[in-house]
Amino acid sequence: MRYLVWLCFITSVLITIQSGWTREYVVDGQNARASDENPGIAERPFKTINKAAQVVQAGDKVIVKAGVYRETVRMQRGGTPQKPIIFVAEPTGSVVIKGSDIIAGWGHMEGNIWRKSNWKLTGRLGTQSGQDFVFRREQVFYNGKPLKHVEQRKEMKSGSFWVDLKGKALYVWLADKSNPNQKQMEVSVRPTLWTGNELTPYVHLRGFQFEHCANLAHRGAIHLEFAHGWVIEDCVVEWMNGAGLWLTNCTRIQVRRCHFNNNGQIGFAVGGGYDIAFEDCETSHNNWKGYDAGWEAGGLKIASAARRVRLIHHHAAFNNGPGIWFDYAGNGHEIIGCVVHDNTANAGIQIEVTFGVLIANNLCYRNTAPNKGNAGFFGSGILLQESGFCRIYHNTCVENDNGLSLVGSNRAVLSMANEIVNNIFAFNREYQVQVWDSVAQRVTGWTFPLPSFVKNPEQWAEERLNRFDYNLYFDPKGQPLIEWGGPYNPGTPDKGRYSDLAEFTKKTAEHSGWAEEAHGLIANPKFVNKGADDFHLQSDSPAIDKGIPLKDVPQDFAGKPRPQGKAPDLGAYE
């Protein structure tokens, strides 16, 4: 029988080589006959996914059957645009790739504390202490739930664990005071779960779940460097020590319908590269370890001169850090139709030293920065820091610390040439719009086309004009709506805090020749149900038909064509 199976396998390989057909491999770790010595067919499947990754060629497909796979997958080669290598979980969501191992053999100490002696990973996942303790990589999961890592044994309490570096032991105290020998105790041991690089282009992953990676900060459980043409779809990446996904200098990557939640540092990050799209993805509840949110933590971060990164219908919520952060991130990006709410620190959408970003049709609400100190602009729904040529169209910013903040500083670049049109800024706690100018200086050497509203380039270069118009403002408490100037402004004639748009328009026109908010309005936008986060407009909303057509935003948040009436409605919904 074994001879016949191998004969069929060899025959199929010869047919494949002669005809150019591609092969289909099967991985089924739960199958009693599974072995990496098998040919990888349904009757004799591979045991590990990594084995399939070693043998696949361009155009091959790997079907991975349901089960838990405790391994790291390292791609050895890639596909082509016409013949990608495809890995599929069958059925979707049934394959879990884990960075943890099950650990048994716990000895009782005293009270509710148990110990694993001769812990093999003592010190190998970090020995940092004090303010650097957050960089340690140990993780312990009890029945799928994480225990809190403490630095000293005296800090142990219900639901925690401690690593004794000197005694080479692992201590746990379970939340229900139970015996860990009677539970499933999983401890993170693997620093990566799936890798690819410039030698492995055009790989598709579909339907996998990833958990429990013991990765460093700045490293992804899925970690790609210089990769090209990858597609990642319908995956769940959660409970990693560092990042869920990390892309370094990658190109033409597509990520669709993936969830990067509950990761220790950040949901995903992109460093360099170009033409990368995330569609219908989520990054929520990240940075539970408490990395410095001003460094690199929160929902997601795009950095290192990346170009043309697109976030379409993204959801970023309840992150301990910015929801969406572009930092020194090049140009040409798009943030469209995203829901960004309840993030703490910095902003819902933060754009820092980044240019030419289209920010449209987004819902930004309840973002806050409780510990902002002197950075009064933190906690904004949308924050631009030293960024220019951005188009901020048809966004709804509600119940943030500030609705929108534009900030300059003493860096070499300023927040300039931005267009803020057809938005709703309402019910925000401090200011609806805040613009902190930098010291006046001439702007030269720009490489982007001038914004459409600039009639006099020399004047624009001198005054760093931003355009605000056709926006709706509302504060039920009667506080000033706009802070124009701030501490970075040396005292230009239009500096001040405004509750009256007519006065604001007059002062800005006198100072720069450009009348800001000449068509703006102050009114309650009349949302359908703000308390239930329904920011559709009621039929009698004053925001209806009050905008101007914008070719970059032909549809609203829900995909409805604009306009439905005589003119576009303000905010994200038509």
**What is the DSSP annotation of 340-364?**
EES-BSSEEEEEES-BS-EEES-EE
Q: Which of 111, 128, 63 is nearest to 91 (CA)?
A: 63
Q: Which of 388, 301, 391 is nearest to 345 (CA)?
A: 301
Domain at 24-99+192-296: CATH code: 2.160.20.10
451 falls in which pLDDT band (50, 70, 90)? low
The reply to whether omega before 180 is within 30° of 0 (cis) is no
Compare 454 and 336 and report the one with higher pLDDT: 336
Average pLDDT over residues 198-206: 98
Q: Residue 495: its pLDDT value, please?
A: 85
Beta carbons of 516 and 468 less than 8 angstroms apart:
yes
pLDDT digits (tens, 9 = 90+) for 310-334: 999 999 999 999 999 999 888 899 9
For 330: left if phi > 0, alpha if psi spans -120 to 50, otherwise beta; the answer is left
Numbers of helices and strands, H then E, in the chain: 5, 48
Average pLDDT over residues 148-156: 96
Average pLDDT over residues 98-115: 96
**Distance from C-alpha of 413 to C-alpha of 271, rounded to nearest angstrom:** 21
Helix (H) or strand (E) holding 16: helix 2-19
Question: Tokens 């092969």 — which residue?
Answer: 23
For 439-493, the DSSP string reads: ---------SPPPTT-S-HHHHHHHT--EEES-EEE-TT---SEEEE-TT----T
Q: Residue 491: its pLDDT value, please?
A: 65
Asked if pLDDT for residue 186 goes beyond 50, the answer is yes
Average pLDDT over residues 251-262: 98
Beta carbons of 211 and 98 less than 8 angstroms apart:
yes
Asked if pLDDT for residue 412 goes beyond 60, the answer is no
The reply to whether omega before 91 is within 30° of 0 (cis) is yes
User: What Cα–Cα distance (Å) separates residue 528 from each residue in 9, 399, 479, 532?
Assistant: 63, 15, 24, 9
Minimum mean pLDDT among 18-32, 158-172, 191-205, 280-294: which range?
Answer: 18-32
Q: Residue 447: its pLDDT value, please?
A: 43
For the CA atoms of 138, 140, 144, 148, what is the dihedral angle to 10 degrees? -90
Q: Residue 454: its pLDDT value, please?
A: 55
Evaluate whether 24-99+192-296 and 101-188 have a shared fold. no
pLDDT digits (tens, 9 = 90+) for 67-90: 999 999 999 999 999 999 999 999
Q: Which of 389, 357, 392, 332 is nearest to 550 (CA)?
A: 392
Q: Are strands 107-108 and 113-116 parallel, antiparallel or unpaired?
A: antiparallel
What six digits make up the tokens of 72?
């790291």
CA angle 322, 323, 324 (to 5 degrees): 95
Residue 167 contacts by C-beta under 8 Å, 6 or more apart in sequence?
Answer: none
E runs forming strands in 490-565: 496-498, 521-522, 527-529, 534-537
CA angle 286, 303, 230 (to 5 degrees): 80
Please report, in angstroms and rounded to a whole number, the separation of the first and last CA atoms in the chain.
Answer: 67
**Distance from C-alpha of 535 to C-alpha of 363, rounded to nearest angstrom:** 8
**Distance from C-alpha of 323 to C-alpha of 306, rounded to nearest angstrom:** 18
Q: Are strands 521-522 and 282-284 parallel, antiparallel or unpaired?
A: unpaired
Beta carbons of 202 and 84 less than 8 angstroms apart:
yes
Asked if pLDDT for residue 443 goes beyond 50, the answer is no
User: What Cα–Cα distance (Å) separates residue 445 from each residue in 375, 411, 413, 442, 463?
Assistant: 29, 15, 11, 10, 15
Average pLDDT over residues 1-5: 47
For 382-414, the DSSP string reads: EEEES-BS-EEES-EEESSSEEEEEE--SSS--
What are the beta bridge partners of residue 69? Answer: 97
**Distance from C-alpha of 218 to C-alpha of 506, rounded to nearest angstrom:** 49
**Distance from C-alpha of 406 to C-alpha of 151, rounded to nearest angstrom:** 40
Average pLDDT over residues 520-524: 98
Q: Look up the CATH superfamily of 101-188.
A: Golgi alpha-mannosidase II (2.60.40.1180)
Residue 322 contacts by C-beta under 8 Å, 6 or more apart in sequence?
Answer: 293, 298, 299, 301, 343, 345, 346, 347, 348, 349, 350
Average pLDDT over residues 4-23: 51
Q: Residue 441: its pLDDT value, please?
A: 38
Asked if pLDDT for residue 459 goes beyond 80, the answer is no
Neighbours of 498 (CB within 10 A): 22
Q: Residue 494: its pLDDT value, please?
A: 83
Average pLDDT over residues 266-289: 97
Residues recorded for the chain = 574
Average pLDDT over residues 442-458: 50
Asked if pLDDT for residue 14 goes beyond 50, the answer is no
**Distance from C-alpha of 545 to C-alpha of 564, rounded to nearest angstrom:** 8
Question: Tokens 């990006």 — which residue?
Answer: 333
445 falls in which pLDDT band (50, 70, 90)? very low
CA angle 131, 135, 137 (to 5 degrees): 140
Question: Tokens 């301990």 — which residue?
Answer: 320
pLDDT digits (tens, 9 = 90+) for 529-570: 999 999 999 999 999 999 999 999 999 999 999 999 999 999
Question: Rg of the chain's alpha carbons, rounded to an integer?
Answer: 27
Domain ranges of the chain: 24-99+192-296, 101-188, 322-574
Residue type for position 193: L
Is residue 294 classed as helix, strand or coil in its secondary structure?
helix
**Distance from C-alpha of 95 to C-alpha of 69, rounded to nearest angstrom:** 7
Q: Are strands 145-146 and 85-98 parallel, antiparallel or unpaired?
A: unpaired
Residue 392 contacts by C-beta under 8 Å, 6 or more apart in sequence?
Answer: 359, 360, 382, 384, 404, 418, 419, 420, 421, 423
Sign of CA dihedral 506, 511, 512, 516: negative
Beta carbons of 295 and 263 less than 8 angstroms apart:
no
Q: Within 13 A of 230's CA, how many CA atoms are on the CB side?
A: 35
Is residue 41 classed as helix, strand or coil in its secondary structure?
coil
What six digits make up the tokens of 453?
């509203």
Q: Residue 15: its pLDDT value, please?
A: 43
Q: Residue 173: its pLDDT value, please?
A: 97
